[in-house]
Structure 1
Amino acid sequence: MSQNVNHTNTAVEQDPYHLTSDGIKDPPKGWGPSFRYLGPGLILSAGIVGSGELIATTTLGAQAGFVLLWLVIFSTFVKVAVQVELARWTLVTGQPALEGFNKVPPKFGRVGWINMLWVVLMLAKYLQLGGIVGGTAIAFSIMMPIGGDPLGFTSTAIWVGIVVAATILLLYSSQYNRIERGAFVSVVIFSFVTILIALGLPFTPFAYDMNDIASGLSLSLPLGVIGAAIAMFGITGVGADEMTYYTYWCLEKGYGRWVGPNDGTEAWKERARGWIKVMYKDAFLSWIIYTFATLAFFIMGAAVLNPQGLVPQGNEMITTLSRMYTDILGGWASFVFLLGAIAALGSTLWATTASFARMYTNFLSIIGIFNWSDAAARMRWFKIFTVVNPILWGIVYLFIQSPVIMVQIGGVMTGIFLLAVVAAVWHLRKTEVDPELYGGSWFNALLIVSSISIVLLGVYTLLNVLGLMPKF
């Protein structure tokens, strides 16, 4: 076993993106000792729970009823192995995902093809994140309208400005601990309330029974909801962008620094295995959180909105979704739902603002704007993007003002980019991960199934976007 090293408080040793032998730490064993080292998955869950669960999943439930329950479960489970495998590479190399993506040939100058596709994904994400900013602003506007109609442009625009300003002020420091704590609070509040209400539906006029659940597990896919189903697959559970930014949070938590630089020794391999197991626990905990939240939102959409023919659309999205609560608990629950919607959508905005700042900054270093190893310059760029991105997302929303469509477009592009992530994972696994550090036989089998499933859905999505699939 390696020995723990006493840390001195120097900038280099504290830089999570710079590995030195002075930063190594022995991994904990078991769930109890490991619990204090979990955290990146909470940020991941915060990014997932808002847009995917509250908007895309509930919309699909409202459109299709229970028939696509199986897809909800499948979409959250099938992508985890790819996420974990990408994070495994990060832990053993100390590098974030975009650095790995750039190693997959072919390259065009300084930039690999996957990072070029990532740029396209980020452009689509401006629509999705614009939808999140808009949805949060609408919830606030309904609670406290400013200047007239709560769904009118004046009140919505003012609240967009307030939401953007608050996001910037709260996240400007870009400190990992603050981001992790904020993610924990927002995820726990809304997920807990929503799961309780979903479990209580059988005791209300919108009761569902085991026949509904059985119909939802029949693996059918009605033609009329294929588009929404594809968007949901891309956006619920861990998507391509979440897989990507999860690697940055694993490093900022300290996993890579605690593993240390690869010196080829058995002590390093043992340390790497130990921290990979901690990362497994972190990923498993986040999967539990967003899977139960996803199921709860879908069931509520299918049980409450679908029978009434209510589907979230345009700026009326929040008021339509609030029917899930008011129709069960009464009018007083609208206020509770609005607070919950703000927590859920705000959690996505919280996590993605910080996460995208890191990915954008990394991309600038890849194209040669600055040196990624320069910690001070890296933090300056983190802060710049923490300011610029929310402002641009707010502007995009004010021009389009259709949160559901904006979020679904981002989901479709995320599904397409999953193809590239799978390609990167297998390339990096083969070229840069010691086979002794691979997962066990069950994990490897799941990785293969996950990869095949993602490729099939990604190809279908791509052909559909290009208009090469038959119109139903």
Structure 2
Amino acid sequence: MEQNSGTGAARGTGAAREAGAAREAGAARGTGAAQSAGATQPVGAAAREAGAPGEAGPVAPRSWAGHLRLLGPGVVLALASVGASDMVTTLNSGAEYGLALIWVFTLGLLLKFGLSEAITRLQLTADRSLFSHITDVGGRLFPVVLLIAELLVGLFFGAGVAAITTLIAQALFPALPFWPTLVVILLSAVVLLWVGRYGIVEKAMMGFAILMFLGIVSLAIGSAGDGDAQATAAQTIMPIYPHTSLITVLSLVGGVGGATGIMAYTFFVQEKRWSGAAWKSVVRVDLAFSYLLVGLFAVSMTVVGAFWLYGQGHSIESNDAVFMVGELIGERLGGWAWILFLLSFFAVTYTSLLGGFQGIAYVTGDCLRVLRRYPHQDDPAHAMSSDAVEFKAALIWLTVCTLGLLTVEQVLGFDRPVTLVLVYAAISSFILPVLAIVLLLLLNRKSVAPQLRNGWLSNTVLTVCLVLFTVLAGVQVVETVSGLIGA
């Protein structure tokens, strides 16, 4: 991946030399020749990584081998998007409906692929961050709305994920005390994001991806050896629509893969210095691989739930129930399966913590940066990156919220403030419809290059996303109001 920077610089320099003049060569290295080749001029932290300021960025490969060598941001997106709640959702789908609802989350992933591809095309149109682009529609309005949503997400996200990751570590090593283990797990993620550049985090996520997906696929294959597996598969393989459980369908469509991850992916692309229409095919391959991994995870968990729990009256509705599934698998297949389940579960939750903190920090930090600098947010001196002060301020916010909320829960003796959780869930559910609206407005402008502008298919997908995710948001609001009244 890193070698492409040198290649891009050499091509930019070669093109400039062919132009013949030294002054033109300097300009070509800065913007002209590099952009015509599909490269970009790095800004902020990216420029410091590339070398001297103004050095040309990487050139988009044309071969399939070159595309595959650049896979990476999509893996980070996949691991950041999948968490313990997705294990609960997919296992419960298998336990209640067998394999019959695989089509539901497959549809959801296809829609989110379309949404991710569109938002990344917006990123490729210019060397600007996501929320800098969004200010073209309504000025500070959308950054303010999304900042509120992300602050509320950050308020509760870390506590739940860090706690369940710690419980998994204790299941693997029973002698570990809860609080010291939790602090080590939390700080390991925060320190890695604080001192490490994006490339280091990407490499760490690649390692966890191998553990996570090999483990989960192995468990799915092991589950297929159960005596009733073939009968369950034959009985439930045909897709159905459970008319009595609309919320189950909607939660599967909207639940696997999150809104924050979709927005954060644009910052991964920016950190890699991919910009211009030449990178569109690279992004599409990377995103396709990402959602293939998420789909593999969802299918594998559904298979485990179907082959071990279907028809037995089980309902997977909490993290504790996920542990019970692991114990059941361990009893049937042996101790190795229990350990493999725990290791895979740990990889799911820890990468969700690491990737979630990274994504929330990018999104929250860029909202803050744009609101502080508007309308001069595109000044290269204040470019968004993992080195930006706003990124690190968001990490501090996440750390304080995680430790603070867990301390409050322990002192007061209750799980979590129900009212605030419901309110934050209702607000965050509007992120995807807001993104769909913004993308329909921004990517249909004539000022957008034809190669990056929306076509009829993109507009159709974004319209479907707008309608579907608005319905999901409405369902969430109804649940919120019911919960508040019930409270």
- Are positions 1:199 and 2:251 aligned together? no
Alpha carbons of structure 1 residues 466 and 333: separation in structure 2 relative to 1, 3 Å = same
The 10-residue stretch of structure 1 (79-88 or 13-22) with the greater mean CA deviation from structure 2: 13-22
TM superposition shift of 1:395:
3.5
Q: Aligned match of 1:137 in 135, 145, 166?
A: 166
Give the equivalent residue in structure 1 for 2:436.
422
Q: Which runs of 5+ in 1 are unaligned?
A: 148-154, 260-271
Deviation at 1:428, TM superposition (A): 1.2
Q: Does 1:93 align with 2:100?
A: no
Q: Once structures 1 and 2 are overlaid, which stretch shifts more, 199-208 or 73-82?
A: 199-208
- Aligned-pair CA distance for 1:2: 12
CA pair 16-340 structure 1, distance change in 2 beyond 3 A: same
Identity of aligned residues (%): 18
Equivalent residue for 2:265, pick from 235, 246, 250: 246
| Structure 2 Cα separation of the partners of residues 212 and 321 of structure 1 | 22
- Does the 8 Å CA contact 2:217/2:300 hold for their aligned counterparts? yes
- C-alpha distance in 2, partners of 1:410/1:310? 29
SS at match of 1:4: helix
Amino acid at match of 1:131: G
Aligned partner of 2:265: which letter?
Y
TM-fit CA distance, 1:424: 0.9
Confirm or deny: 8 A CA contact 2:316 2:322 kept in the other structure. yes
Which one-letter code corresponds to 1:88 in the other structure?
R
Q: Is the 8 A contact 2:42 2:57 kept in 1?
A: no
CA radius of gyration, larger in: 2
Q: Is the 8 A contact 1:234 1:414 kept in 2?
A: no
Output one character per residue of 1:374-425: Cα deviation in whole Å (capped at 9) or x when no partner. 35995333334334413422433452647xx999997765543211111111
Cα distance in structure 2, aligned partners of 1:382 and 1:91: 21
1:454 to 469, 472, 475: 469
The equivalent residue for 1:176 is: 198
Work out the CA distance in 2 between the residues paired with 1:452 and 1:459. 11
- Take 1:320 and 1:411, find their aligned partners in 2: how far apart are those partners? 27
Q: Secondary structure at the match of 2:229?
A: coil
C-alpha contact 1:131 1:406 (8 A) present in aligned 2: no
Asked if residue 211 in structure 1 is aligned to residue 234 in structure 2, the reply is yes
Give the counterpart letter for 2:67 in structure 1. Answer: S
Aligned to 1:166: 188
Q: Deviations over 1:302-323 (max 9, x none)?
A: 3324444444455624522423
Distance 1:172 1:74 in 2: 36
Hey, what does 2:208 align to over in structure 1? Answer: 186
Q: Post-superposition shift, 1:248?
A: 0.6
Partner of residue 380, structure 1: 389
Residues 25, 339 of structure 1: alpha-carbon distance in 2 compared, 3 angstrom cutoff? closer
1:317-365 deviations in Å (ceiling 9; x for gaps): 4522423631442244222222211111111111122222222221221
Hey, what does 2:255 align to over in structure 1? 235
Q: Does the Cα contact within 8 Å between 2:122 and 2:443 map onto a contact in 1?
A: yes
Q: Is the 8 A contact 1:86 1:425 kept in 2?
A: yes
Code of the residue aligned with 1:235 in structure 2: it is: G
The alpha carbon displacement at 1:140 in A equals 0.9
Distance 2:370 2:360 in 1: 15
Listed as ranges, the matches of 1:272-421 within 5 Å are: 272=277, 274-312=278-316, 316-323=320-327, 325-368=329-372, 373-375=380-382, 379-397=388-406, 399=409, 401=415, 414-421=428-435
Q: What is the aligned partner in structure 1 of residue 18 from structure 2?
A: none
Spell out the pairing of 1:461-472 with structure 2 (5 A cutoff): 461-466=476-481
Any unmatched runs of 5+ in structure 2? 1-7, 14-28, 31-40
Letter of the aligned partner of 1:4 in structure 2? R
Give the partner amino acid of 1:185.
G
Larger RCO: 1 or 2 (CA < 8 Å, sep 6+): 1
Query: Aligned AA for 2:433?
Result: L
- Judged with a 3 Å threshold, the aligned counterparts in structure 2 of structure 1 residues 91 and 376 are, in CA distance, closer, same or farther, namely closer
| TM superposition shift of 1:426 | 0.7
SS at 1:82's partner residue? helix
Alpha-carbon distance, 1:197 to partner: 2.3
Residue aligning to 2:16: none
User: Structure 1 stretch 113-122 or stretch 82-91: which is displaced more?
Assistant: 113-122
Q: 1:424 to 1:299 in 2, by over 3 A?
A: same
Decide whether aligned partners of structure 1 residues 171 and 321 sit closer, same or farther in structure 2, where only a CA change above 3 A counts.
Answer: farther
Distance 2:336 2:283 in 1: 42
Q: Distance in 2 between matches of 1:233 and 1:50?
A: 15
The answer to whether the Cα contact below 8 Å between 2:9 and 2:56 also exists between their aligned partners in 1 is: no
Q: Give the aligned residue type for 2:168.
A: A
Deviation at 1:282, TM superposition (A): 0.8
Q: CA deviation at 1:24?
A: 4.8
Distance (whole Å) between structure 2 residues aligned to residue 242 and residue 430 of structure 1: 24
Question: Does the 8 Å CA contact 2:159/2:405 hold for their aligned counterparts?
Answer: yes
Residue 466 of structure 1, CA deviation: 4.4
CA distance in 1, matches of 2:107, 2:97: 16
State the distance in 2 between where 1:249 and 1:355 align. Answer: 9
- Cα gap change, 1:465 to 1:5, in 2 (>3 Å): same
Q: Distance in 2 between matches of 1:290 and 1:141?
A: 27
Contact 1:174 1:382 in 2 (8 A): no
| Alignment match of 1:69 (pick from 91, 102, 117) | 102
Task: Look up the match of 1:265.
Answer: none
- Report whether the alignment pairs 1:4 with 2:27: no
- Summarize the Cα distance change of 1:73–1:436 in structure 2 as closer, same or farther, 3 Å threshold: closer
Cα shift readout 1:104-132 (whole Å, capped 9, x = no counterpart): 33x5xxx3146414413541353233221
Contact 1:234 1:412 in 2 (8 A): no
SS in structure 1 opposite 2:101? helix
Give the Cα–Cα distance (whole angstroms) in 2 for the partners of residues 180 and 42 of structure 1. 8
Asked if 1:438 is matched to 2:467, the reply is no
5 Å-filtered alignment, 1:101-140, equals 101-105=134-138, 111-113=140-142, 115-140=144-169
